[in-house]
Amino acid sequence: MVAAGSVLAYMHVASQVYYPVVRIASPDGVSYTALMDPTDDRRDCGAANERFLGPVKSQCQDCKVVFARCERKSEAIDLAIHHGEPVRLHWVVLSGLRIAVVGPEETAKAI
């Protein structure tokens, strides 16, 4: 009975999907929400966030990390970006990475 419970618990954890999501606020009033490709391992998700934040922290000391987390169900706007649905934001799409840019219209467009 205990073995069966352990197997079921493992199968549940193994089937989880984690979305690495990072939000950064810049000094010029623009915020960036980065959504990376989902992973099925919580540690890999955290590592993806750290890989993303490394260059940002070194190149923009005045930027503030609003959050860096691993979401099991990402916010609606993040999921819309991930699935390529139309949203009213400026956004950048790269392989494995989507970044929503929100802020003053002219500044956000210039990015």
Q: In 3-state terms, what secondary structure has residue 75?
A: coil
- For residue 105, what pLDDT band results from cuts at 50, 70 and 90? confident
CA distances in angstroms from 83 to 15, 65, 95, listed in the order given: 20, 24, 13
CA distances in angstroms from 15 to 10, 74, 89, listed in the order given: 9, 16, 31
**Pick the residue with more confidence: 84 or 40?**
40
Which tokens in the block code for residue 32?
């960036």
State if pTM tops 0.75: no
Spatial separation of the C-alpha atoms in residues 60 and 56, rounded to whole Å? 6
Mind listing the pLDDT tens digit for each residue in 7-54? 555 555 567 999 999 999 999 999 999 999 999 999 999 999 999 999
